[in-house]
């Protein structure tokens, strides 16, 4: 039997089961439609979004993550207002993966919706489209009383790398909600060394919440922000190892020779992931004096750490 005939048979079976009186059968049919291709499968799933049973609607929304097209986006946007929370969340998760520029006007409209959940989901879907037309809605989102809306607005701004939004970004760095401050640190990833916002990113290394500090450390490395070097070296003593790991990674990206001794001391950490980051950073910096730290650590108990230390030693010896 040709492959396409087998698909047709499967689809005919799914059509029947999608209309079965038993909601459990219909739900499983929606789940299996995720594996089907073509417009007929999409039509069945879109019909599933209107099923009287919320578990079927949620399954249809999840399955639509595997399908694309303006009709899919429109259906998922409509489900953001479903009466059932599970359906709403499934629709939001699937919608976030869509990249349909043709649907931007619809998403921008929903970014002004009175329901914060709908607003946030629309902004999240707009983020990776990187459309300048979304900037105004994202800036308005920063004034929302709902932290999830402010957070998603920051995501749009970060993807757009909108210089004109810098004053607003600097303001949100002191937001009362830690998740919003963290999103601000991520959005500041387009800051230029010495430019507006650089000091705000550096200040984030001292935030009271560890995830904000971690994000600030990561962003400082991504843009190789030299004025963050001192703060990143200080972050190697942070009370949370994830912050220390991000700081070590970023110091490697910065090729910060002034961090060699602090990174070398980190090779004695009990946390292998942190030792890996420190060894990798020392290899990136490739300063000969790092050998004073690397060679004694060459017999690290973790094989991944040992491998990185050997690589770092080779890099440092080449620089002699």
The mean pLDDT of 21-48, rounded to a whole number, is: 94
Provide the pLDDT confidence category of residue 8 given band limits of 50, 70 and 90.
low
Contact 147, 179 (CB under 8 A): yes
For the segment 219-259, what is each residue's pLDDT rounded down to a tens digit?
A: 999 999 999 999 999 999 999 999 999 999 999 999 999 99
Q: What does the CA dihedral 233, 235, 236, 240 come to, rounded to 10 degrees?
A: -170
What kind of architecture, by CATH, is found in domain 232-320? Alpha Horseshoe (1.25)
Q: According to the model, what pLDDT value does residue 38 have?
A: 87
The mean pLDDT of 261-269, rounded to a whole number, is: 97
Q: According to the model, what pLDDT value does residue 2 have?
A: 42
For the segment 66-86, what is each residue's pLDDT rounded down to a tens digit?
A: 999 999 999 999 999 999 999
User: Which tokens belong to 214?
Assistant: 């971690």
User: Which tokens belong to 110?
Assistant: 């929903």
Task: Please state, rounded to an integer, the average pLDDT across all residues of the chain.
Answer: 94
Burial state string for 79-104 with b = 16 or more CB within 10 A and e = fewer than 16: bbebeeeebbbbbbebbbebebeebb
Give CA–CA dist 157/132, Å, rounded: 9
Q: According to the model, what pLDDT value does residue 37 have?
A: 84
């Amino acid at each position: 039997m040709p492959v396409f005939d087998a698909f047709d048979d499967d689809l005919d079976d799914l059509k029947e089961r999608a209309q079965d009186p038993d909601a459990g059968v219909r739900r499983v049919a929606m789940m299996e439609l995720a594996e089907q291709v073509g417009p007929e499968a999409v039509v069945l799933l879109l019909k599933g979004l209107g099923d009287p049973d919320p578990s079927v609607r949620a399954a249809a929304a999840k399955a639509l993550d595997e399908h694309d097209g303006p009709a899919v986006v429109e259906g998922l946007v409509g489900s953001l207002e479903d009466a059932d929370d599970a359906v709403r969340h499934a629709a939001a998760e699937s919608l976030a993966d869509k990249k349909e520029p043709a649907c931007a006007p619809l998403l921008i409209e929903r970014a002004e919706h009175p329901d914060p959940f709908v607003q946030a989901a629309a902004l999240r879907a707009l983020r990776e489209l990187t459309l300048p037309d979304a900037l105004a809605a994202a800036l308005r989102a920063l004034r929302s009383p709902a932290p999830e809306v402010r957070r998603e607005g920051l995501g749009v701004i970060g993807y757009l790398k909108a210089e004109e939004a810098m004053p607003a970004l600097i303001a949100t760095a002191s937001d009362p909600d830690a998740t919003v401050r963290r999103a601000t640190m991520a959005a500041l990833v387009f800051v230029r060394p010495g430019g507006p916002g650089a000091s705000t990113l550096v200040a984030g290394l001292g935030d009271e919440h560890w995830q904000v500090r971690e994000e600030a450390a990561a962003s400082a490395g991504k843009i190789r922000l030299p004025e963050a070097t001192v703060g990143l070296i200080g972050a190697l003593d942070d009370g949370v190892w994830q912050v220390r790991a991000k700081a070590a990674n970023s110091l490697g990206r910065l090729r910060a020779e002034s961090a060699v001794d602090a990174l070398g001391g980190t090779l004695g950490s009990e946390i292998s992931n942190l030792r890996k980051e420190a060894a990798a950073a020392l290899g990136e910096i490739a300063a000969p004096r790092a050998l004073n730290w690397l060679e004694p650590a060459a017999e690290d108990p973790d094989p991944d750490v040992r491998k990185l230390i050997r690589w770092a030693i080779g890099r440092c010896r080449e620089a002699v």
